[in-house]
């Protein structure tokens, strides 16, 4: 038992007790915990702005806790916020991307690890993937981007609201950013238009061309690199994690907001109009407008209705 751990006297008996209960099951160490954190948690709890300042990418960070204080109480799994979150006793339940949540066996492993005194790794855990978790890949120049390059940004900065059980209850506008399929879904309208970042409301929101700017709880908003990564991913066809480009959802509805420029441009996006286009309250160049329209099969946007906002 390392000397620096608090409460070591009180917990000294627990491991023996557990060992007795569980036969020969070895006490878990951070070696057993790290792979679960890596697989299910560091997507969000890592990098420069983790939720509640809680990073879970190393034992030291985990022990540091969140801006609210420690998330584990040595020897006391029941009193540990981390366990309460894993079981849903504290809401929102973790991982926020669930269901699926952790299995009973995995949760029990965390409980035993906390009960047994938060044993550090006996040998260095395989940390390759944890070296820079959650961060956008640095060298993407010349790379064909796919969903795996942008997923962590959405997870860390967007899913706290845009998921089915987020901070605001139901997802704002019913828009879920918790998976590839929902990010690209266009049942009601498309927010991502594969091949055209400029026609994608998602991009207008992260750039601040459309208001309110996203993430809604910013600043900080996304930095230049993160925005560029998402723009390039969409312009390259919004590929799935396997690298397969998404088809253009011709005929899908879009609703875009931005500033009307000369020659019917919405910021940089050329708009198409026809005899059926309804223009309300005569929008002028320079006006902030809302456009409702349809995506044509060539990727352009045919305006059905446009009005100042
Ligand atoms: C998709 C992003 C995401 C993932 C994945 C995720 N979390 Fe969280 N986590 C959050 C957000 C957002 C909050 C803040 C929620 C709130 O305000 O209570 C949070 C809060 C927490 C808290 C509460 C801290 C405190 O002091 O109250 C704990 C503990 C926690 N997460 C642990 C985990 C663990 C363990 C995992 C993996 C099994 C995990 N999280 C996976 C986003 C995530
Ligand atoms: C703190 C909560 C919160 C966070 C975090 C957040 N959003 Fe939002 N989002 C909202 C709310 C609220 C709205 C509706 C705003 C409105 O138009 O009145 C919204 C609207 C949107 C819309 C418009 C949806 C539509 O149907 O037109 C998009 C796109 C969007 N968000 C993308 C994102 C992205 C991308 C991120 C992360 C970079 C993000 N949001 C982070 C709360 C959030």
pLDDT band with cut points at 50, 70 and 90 for residue 281: confident
pLDDT tens digits for range 180-230: 999 999 999 999 999 999 999 999 999 999 999 999 998 999 999 999 999
Higher pLDDT: 112 or 141? It is 112
Residue closest by Cα to atom 29 of ligand 2: 202
Higher pLDDT: 17 or 41? It is 41
pLDDT band with cut points at 50, 70 and 90 for residue 288: very high
pLDDT tens digits for range 158-170: 998 999 888 888 9
Q: What is the pLDDT of residue 235?
A: 94
Q: What is the pLDDT of residue 47?
A: 81
Q: What is the pLDDT of residue 5?
A: 47
Q: Which ligand 2 atom is at minimum distance from the Cα of 215?
A: 41
The whole-angstrom separation of Cα 179 and Cα 151 is 8
Ligand 1 pocket residues where CB is under 6 Å: 40-41, 43-45, 51-52, 54, 56, 66, 68, 71, 81-82, 85, 92, 94-97, 102, 155, 159-160
pLDDT tens digits for range 105-125: 999 999 999 999 999 888 654
From the CA of 213, which ligand is nearest? 2
Check: CB of residue 194 under 8 Å from CB of residue 245.
yes
From the CA of 37, which ligand is nearest? 1
Q: What own/partner pairs with CB < 8 Å and gap ≥ 24 does 48-52 have?
A: 49/156, 49/157, 49/220, 50/134, 50/156, 51/96, 51/156, 51/160
The whole-angstrom separation of Cα 8 and Cα 119 is 11
Residue 18 has pLDDT above 80, yes or no: no
pLDDT band with cut points at 50, 70 and 90 for residue 135: very low
Contacts of residue 87, defined as CB under 8 A and 6 or more positions apart, other chains included, come to: 93, 107
Residue closest by Cα to atom 24 of ligand 1: 66
In a 13 Å sphere around the CA of 136, the CA atoms on its Cβ side amount to: 22
């Amino acid at each position: 038992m390392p000397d620096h751990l608090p409460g070591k006297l009180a917990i000294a008996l627990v491991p023996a007790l557990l060992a007795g209960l569980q036969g020969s099951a070895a006490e878990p160490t951070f070696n057993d915990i790290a792979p679960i954190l890596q697989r299910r948690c560091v997507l969000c709890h890592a990098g420069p702005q983790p939720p509640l300042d809680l990073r879970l990418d190393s034992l030291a960070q985990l022990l540091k806790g969140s801006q609210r204080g420690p998330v584990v109480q040595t020897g006391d799994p029941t009193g540990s916020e981390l366990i309460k979150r894993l079981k849903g006793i504290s809401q929102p339940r973790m991982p926020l991307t669930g269901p699926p949540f952790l299995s009973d066996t995995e949760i029990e492993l965390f409980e035993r690890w906390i009960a047994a005194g938060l044993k550090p790794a006996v040998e260095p855990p395989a940390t390759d993937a944890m070296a820079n978790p959650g961060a956008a890949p640095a060298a993407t120049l010349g790379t064909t981007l796919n969903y795996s390059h942008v997923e962590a940004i959405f997870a860390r900065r967007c899913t706290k609201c845009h998921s089915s059980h987020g901070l605001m209850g139901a997802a704002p506008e019913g828009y879920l950013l918790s998976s590839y399929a929902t990010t690209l879904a266009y049942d009601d309208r498309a927010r991502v238009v594969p091949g055209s970042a400029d026609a994608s409301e998602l991009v207008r929101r992260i750039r601040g061309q459309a208001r309110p700017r996203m993430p809604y709880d910013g600043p900080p908003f996304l930095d230049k690199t993160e925005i560029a990564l998402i723009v390039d991913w969409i312009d390259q066809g919004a590929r799935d994690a396997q690298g397969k480009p998404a088809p253009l959802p011709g005929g899908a509805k879009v609703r875009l907001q931005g500033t009307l420029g000369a020659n019917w441009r919405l910021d940089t996006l050329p708009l198409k109009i026809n005899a059926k286009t309804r223009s309300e309250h005569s929008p002028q160049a320079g006006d902030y407008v809302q456009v409702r329209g349809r995506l044509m099969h060539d990727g352009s946007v045919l305006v059905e209705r446009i009005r100042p906002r």
